[in-house]
Chains A and B, each alone.
With several copies, the nearest count.
Chain A
Amino acid sequence: RVRFFARYAELAGRSEGTLTVPLPATVSDVMKQIRATWPGASALPAQPLAALNLRHVRLDARISDGDELALLPPLAGG
Protein backbone atom coordinates (compact mmCIF):
# COMPACT_ATOMS: atom_id res chain seq x y z
CA ARG A 1 0.00 0.00 0.00
CA VAL A 2 1.36 3.40 -0.98
CA ARG A 3 0.25 6.73 0.44
CA PHE A 4 0.86 10.20 -0.94
CA PHE A 5 0.63 13.37 1.12
CA ALA A 6 0.16 17.09 0.58
CA ARG A 7 1.82 18.27 -2.65
CA TYR A 8 2.73 14.72 -3.64
CA ALA A 9 -0.93 13.71 -3.47
CA GLU A 10 -1.73 16.60 -5.81
CA LEU A 11 1.05 15.59 -8.22
CA ALA A 12 0.13 11.90 -8.19
CA GLY A 13 -3.55 12.72 -8.47
CA ARG A 14 -4.31 10.33 -5.64
CA SER A 15 -3.75 9.94 -1.90
CA GLU A 16 -3.16 6.21 -2.00
CA GLY A 17 -2.85 3.11 -4.12
CA THR A 18 -1.74 -0.48 -4.02
CA LEU A 19 1.24 -1.96 -5.84
CA THR A 20 2.58 -5.47 -6.20
CA VAL A 21 6.36 -5.71 -6.45
CA PRO A 22 8.60 -8.77 -6.67
CA LEU A 23 10.48 -9.28 -3.38
CA PRO A 24 13.14 -8.68 -2.26
CA ALA A 25 12.74 -4.99 -3.03
CA THR A 26 13.79 -1.67 -1.53
CA VAL A 27 11.91 1.60 -1.24
CA SER A 28 13.85 2.78 -4.30
CA ASP A 29 12.59 -0.17 -6.33
CA VAL A 30 9.03 0.66 -5.37
CA MET A 31 9.60 4.33 -6.27
CA LYS A 32 10.52 3.32 -9.81
CA GLN A 33 7.34 1.31 -10.12
CA ILE A 34 5.24 4.12 -8.63
CA ARG A 35 6.56 6.58 -11.20
CA ALA A 36 5.81 4.11 -14.00
CA THR A 37 2.36 3.11 -12.76
CA TRP A 38 0.45 6.34 -12.16
CA PRO A 39 0.68 9.10 -14.77
CA GLY A 40 1.08 12.15 -12.47
CA ALA A 41 3.55 10.25 -10.27
CA SER A 42 6.29 10.71 -12.84
CA ALA A 43 6.49 14.32 -11.58
CA LEU A 44 7.51 13.08 -8.11
CA PRO A 45 11.17 13.44 -7.20
CA ALA A 46 13.21 10.28 -7.75
CA GLN A 47 14.40 10.33 -4.14
CA PRO A 48 11.61 11.63 -1.93
CA LEU A 49 11.46 11.41 1.84
CA ALA A 50 9.83 8.07 2.68
CA ALA A 51 8.22 6.35 5.65
CA LEU A 52 7.58 2.67 6.11
CA ASN A 53 4.96 1.58 8.64
CA LEU A 54 4.90 5.02 10.28
CA ARG A 55 8.69 5.40 10.54
CA HIS A 56 11.14 7.44 8.50
CA VAL A 57 13.31 5.15 6.37
CA ARG A 58 16.14 5.50 3.91
CA LEU A 59 15.51 4.63 0.29
CA ASP A 60 17.52 1.43 0.57
CA ALA A 61 15.20 0.03 3.26
CA ARG A 62 13.73 -3.41 2.49
CA ILE A 63 10.02 -3.74 1.74
CA SER A 64 8.00 -6.63 3.21
CA ASP A 65 4.61 -7.98 2.31
CA GLY A 66 1.80 -5.76 3.60
CA ASP A 67 4.01 -2.74 4.32
CA GLU A 68 2.59 0.75 4.20
CA LEU A 69 4.94 3.03 2.27
CA ALA A 70 4.37 6.78 2.43
CA LEU A 71 5.98 9.46 0.29
CA LEU A 72 6.47 12.67 2.22
CA PRO A 73 7.02 16.14 0.74
CA PRO A 74 9.48 18.38 2.62
CA LEU A 75 8.26 18.49 6.24
CA ALA A 76 6.83 21.72 7.57
CA GLY A 77 5.51 20.90 11.02
CA GLY A 78 5.90 22.92 14.20
Chain B
Amino acid sequence: MNYLTTAPLALEALLAEVSAPHCGGTCAFLGTVRDGPEDGGVTAIEYSAYDAMAEAELDRIVAETRRQWVDARIAVRHRLGLVAAEEASIAIAVATPHRADAFAACRYVIEEVKKRLPVWKKELRADGTATWVDPSGHPSMVGPQ
Protein backbone atom coordinates (compact mmCIF):
# COMPACT_ATOMS: atom_id res chain seq x y z
CA MET B 1 0.00 0.00 0.00
CA ASN B 2 1.27 3.50 -0.77
CA TYR B 3 0.46 5.75 2.15
CA LEU B 4 3.15 8.27 1.29
CA THR B 5 2.88 10.78 -1.51
CA THR B 6 4.46 14.03 -2.63
CA ALA B 7 1.19 15.16 -4.26
CA PRO B 8 -1.31 17.48 -2.53
CA LEU B 9 -3.80 15.48 -0.48
CA ALA B 10 -7.38 15.26 -1.73
CA LEU B 11 -9.78 14.22 1.01
CA GLU B 12 -12.55 13.50 -1.51
CA ALA B 13 -10.51 10.62 -2.92
CA LEU B 14 -10.10 9.11 0.55
CA LEU B 15 -13.80 9.52 1.30
CA ALA B 16 -14.63 7.68 -1.92
CA GLU B 17 -12.26 4.88 -0.89
CA VAL B 18 -13.92 4.28 2.48
CA SER B 19 -17.53 4.81 1.39
CA ALA B 20 -19.66 1.66 1.67
CA PRO B 21 -23.40 0.97 1.74
CA HIS B 22 -23.34 -0.27 5.35
CA CYS B 23 -21.26 2.61 6.74
CA GLY B 24 -23.41 5.51 7.92
CA GLY B 25 -20.74 7.58 9.64
CA THR B 26 -17.45 8.87 8.29
CA CYS B 27 -14.92 10.78 10.35
CA ALA B 28 -12.01 12.50 8.65
CA PHE B 29 -8.96 14.25 9.97
CA LEU B 30 -6.68 16.70 8.19
CA GLY B 31 -3.44 17.92 9.69
CA THR B 32 -2.32 21.18 8.13
CA VAL B 33 0.83 23.27 8.32
CA ARG B 34 0.19 26.14 10.72
CA ASP B 35 1.33 29.68 10.38
CA GLY B 36 -0.03 31.15 13.57
CA PRO B 37 1.50 34.16 15.35
CA GLU B 38 3.55 31.89 17.63
CA ASP B 39 4.85 29.98 14.65
CA GLY B 40 7.14 32.79 13.53
CA GLY B 41 6.41 33.10 9.83
CA VAL B 42 6.57 29.49 8.74
CA THR B 43 6.11 29.53 4.96
CA ALA B 44 6.44 25.82 4.30
CA ILE B 45 7.48 22.57 5.89
CA GLU B 46 9.72 20.03 4.29
CA TYR B 47 8.67 16.53 5.28
CA SER B 48 11.00 13.57 4.97
CA ALA B 49 10.57 9.98 6.05
CA TYR B 50 12.19 6.64 6.52
CA ASP B 51 9.98 5.58 3.65
CA ALA B 52 9.99 1.80 3.95
CA MET B 53 9.43 1.91 7.70
CA ALA B 54 6.73 4.60 7.46
CA GLU B 55 4.81 2.46 4.98
CA ALA B 56 5.22 -0.59 7.21
CA GLU B 57 4.22 1.35 10.32
CA LEU B 58 1.08 2.71 8.63
CA ASP B 59 0.22 -0.82 7.52
CA ARG B 60 0.49 -1.94 11.13
CA ILE B 61 -1.54 1.01 12.46
CA VAL B 62 -4.32 0.37 9.92
CA ALA B 63 -4.32 -3.36 10.76
CA GLU B 64 -4.54 -2.62 14.51
CA THR B 65 -7.40 -0.19 13.90
CA ARG B 66 -9.28 -2.83 11.87
CA ARG B 67 -8.79 -5.32 14.69
CA GLN B 68 -10.28 -2.92 17.24
CA TRP B 69 -13.11 -1.65 15.02
CA VAL B 70 -13.83 -4.64 12.81
CA ASP B 71 -16.23 -2.93 10.40
CA ALA B 72 -14.03 0.15 9.93
CA ARG B 73 -12.96 1.16 6.44
CA ILE B 74 -9.78 3.21 6.64
CA ALA B 75 -7.77 5.40 4.26
CA VAL B 76 -4.60 7.31 5.17
CA ARG B 77 -2.16 9.47 3.21
CA HIS B 78 0.88 11.30 4.49
CA ARG B 79 2.47 13.92 2.31
CA LEU B 80 6.24 14.26 1.92
CA GLY B 81 8.42 16.96 0.40
CA LEU B 82 7.59 20.66 0.55
CA VAL B 83 4.17 21.46 1.99
CA ALA B 84 3.03 25.10 2.01
CA ALA B 85 1.36 26.75 5.00
CA GLU B 86 -2.34 25.81 5.21
CA GLU B 87 -1.85 22.72 3.05
CA ALA B 88 -2.50 19.30 4.53
CA SER B 89 0.35 17.01 5.58
CA ILE B 90 -1.90 14.13 6.57
CA ALA B 91 -5.40 13.02 5.65
CA ILE B 92 -7.30 10.20 7.33
CA ALA B 93 -10.81 8.95 6.59
CA VAL B 94 -12.62 6.25 8.54
CA ALA B 95 -16.11 4.99 7.75
CA THR B 96 -18.05 2.74 10.12
CA PRO B 97 -21.65 1.65 10.53
CA HIS B 98 -22.03 3.87 13.62
CA ARG B 99 -20.52 7.28 14.21
CA ALA B 100 -18.93 6.77 17.63
CA ASP B 101 -16.64 4.13 16.10
CA ALA B 102 -15.70 6.41 13.21
CA PHE B 103 -14.53 9.12 15.64
CA ALA B 104 -12.69 6.68 17.90
CA ALA B 105 -10.94 4.82 15.08
CA CYS B 106 -9.94 8.02 13.27
CA ARG B 107 -8.55 9.41 16.51
CA TYR B 108 -6.63 6.20 17.13
CA VAL B 109 -4.97 6.42 13.72
CA ILE B 110 -3.77 10.02 14.13
CA GLU B 111 -2.54 9.45 17.70
CA GLU B 112 -0.54 6.37 16.66
CA VAL B 113 0.82 8.21 13.62
CA LYS B 114 2.07 11.01 15.88
CA LYS B 115 3.70 8.50 18.23
CA ARG B 116 5.19 6.07 15.75
CA LEU B 117 5.60 7.35 12.21
CA PRO B 118 9.26 7.88 11.19
CA VAL B 119 8.66 11.25 9.58
CA TRP B 120 10.53 14.48 10.20
CA LYS B 121 9.86 18.06 9.38
CA LYS B 122 12.01 21.08 8.78
CA GLU B 123 10.24 24.41 9.14
CA LEU B 124 11.21 26.93 6.50
CA ARG B 125 10.71 30.57 7.50
CA ALA B 126 10.24 33.77 5.57
CA ASP B 127 13.64 35.00 6.88
CA GLY B 128 15.47 32.09 5.21
CA THR B 129 16.17 30.10 8.36
CA ALA B 130 15.17 26.48 8.84
CA THR B 131 14.55 24.43 11.96
CA TRP B 132 14.10 20.73 12.53
CA VAL B 133 10.90 20.34 14.50
CA ASP B 134 11.03 18.37 17.71
CA PRO B 135 7.44 18.11 18.98
CA SER B 136 8.80 17.33 22.45
CA GLY B 137 9.98 20.92 22.55
CA HIS B 138 13.66 21.17 21.60
CA PRO B 139 13.96 22.91 18.22
CA SER B 140 17.41 22.92 16.72
CA MET B 141 18.45 25.56 14.24
CA VAL B 142 20.10 24.25 11.11
CA GLY B 143 21.08 27.64 9.77
CA PRO B 144 20.17 29.60 6.66
CA GLN B 145 19.20 27.54 3.64
A–B contact at 8 Å CB threshold (below)? yes
Chain A residues with a Cβ under 8 A of chain B: 3, 5-7, 10, 51, 54-56, 70, 72-78
Contacts of B53 in A (CB 8 A): 51, 54-55, 70
Number of B residues whose C-beta is below 8 Å from A? Answer: 32
* CB nearest neighbor in A for B80: A77
B:102-145 near A, CB below 8 Å: 110, 113-122, 132-136, 138, 140, 142
**Given A5-B48, A5-B50, A72-B50, A78-B31 contact (CB < 8 Å):** yes
Residues of B within 8 A of A (CB): 31, 47-50, 52-54, 56-57, 78, 89-90, 110, 113-122, 132-136, 138, 140, 142
A70 to B132, CA, bound (A): 18
Interface of B, helix, strand, loop or mixed by DSSP: mixed
User: Known contacts A6-B48, A54-B56; is A75 also within 8 Å of B118 by CB?
Assistant: yes
| A58: min CB distance to chain B, Å | 14
Q: Are B132 and A73 within 8 A (Cβ)?
A: yes
A78 touches B142 (CB 8 A): no
The smallest C-beta distance from A70 to any residue of chain B, in angstroms, reads: 6
CB of A75 within 8 A of CB of B117, answer yes
